[in-house]
Chain A
Amino acid sequence: MLHALHAKTRPQLLVGFAAGVGFGFLLQKGGVTYYDVIIDQLLLKDFTVVKIMLTAMVTGMIGVHLLAGLGLAQFHPKPGALGMTIPGALIFGVGFALLGYCPGTAVGAVGHGALDALLGGVVGMLAGAAAFAAIYPKLKPILGKGDFGELTFPRLLRVGPWAVVVPVAAAVIALLYGIGRAGW
């Protein structure tokens, strides 16, 4: 692991910025910084968003597991709980459809001049995050319901990582092929 580089604060901020430039460039080139593309995905008329996310997920999954196997990467699975992950994701989903952008693509949309993404999206997301911070102490009991921590599928199934990576990669590639064949 590149521990020395990971510990340097200022160079890390630069790496973060550079990664963001790459990410924003790719999101715009993929068309997913556009409201129309995201809404047509949620209306199941255009599968661009799903194609990008699944391809990124498979590519990332294989590479990051290889890096981890070589001792060059550490996993950071997010903790979860039924009371946290399910209601949070559904509220997010409602907002996703009303806004027509998610946090990253909203910022990308601002980059190509979408003012609804700036004055509605970014302002709304800041207000939503602040509101969550305000009521967080009261929500804590709900958030902790059905806590399963930083669980991963290999740990849940008590198998090695590749026993999950290989079938998931195969299934996702088959799904992408099917979506392509169906002309979506």
Chain B
Amino acid sequence: MEIFTTPRWSPYAVGVGIGVLSWLTFLLSNKPLGCSTAFVRSAGLVERWFRGRKVDEKPYYQQFKPQIDWEWMLVCGVLVGALASSLLSGQFQWAWVPAKWAAEVGTGAAGRWVVALAGGFCVGFGARWAGGCTSGHGISGTLQLAVSSWIAAAGFFAGGIATAMLLYHVILA
């Protein structure tokens, strides 16, 4: 059972695993892997707590109903799967600041939190604008040879590489 307790697998093995997983979701559920719609549905569920059923009238929530669906369960599963994997390899660790951030920026949790919050906002907003994320467009869409997904995947990396270079080579240099 060493395979489950080892901390890292070859990226090619992981990639083949995710590819095979996508065969299964198409076959068993008629659905591609994707993560970002779960966030808009959850956002709708949270808004409903505060503002009641009126939230359902928003045009975007009519398209993506605030409810627990297949993809929402998938995202819950991701949490459990990553938790299980990290516990098996002894890598589970509460951490406020990632190692690289601590080394290059500092160990203060507040600074990291603010940047992560701003980044999370752009990720959530941009994923809805583009209609998918690195899983839905980046893997599931490109494998279906969708034109939108190939453009989106190029855009994710173009924006990401430019921002990371600016942050680490200019702002923090």
Contacts and interface: CB of A to CB of B under 8 A. Distances in A.
Given A53-B138, A73-B30, A119-B113, A58 B78 contact: no
Contacts of A154: 145
A98 to B, nearest CB: 3
A132 B128 contact: yes
Contacts of B136: 78
Interface residues of A, number: 125
Interface in B70-100: 70-86, 89, 91-100
B82 A92 contact: no
A125 B8 contact: no
Given A76-B31, A88-B130, A30 B11 contact: yes
* B interface: dominant SS: helix
A17 B156 CA distance: 26
A2 B135 contact: no
Given A55-B12, A60-B143, A121-B119, A92 B130 contact: yes
A112 interface: yes
Contacts of A67: 23, 26-27
Interface of B: 6-9, 11-12, 14-33, 35-36, 38-40, 42-44, 46-47, 58-61, 64, 68-86, 89, 91-101, 109, 112-165, 167-169
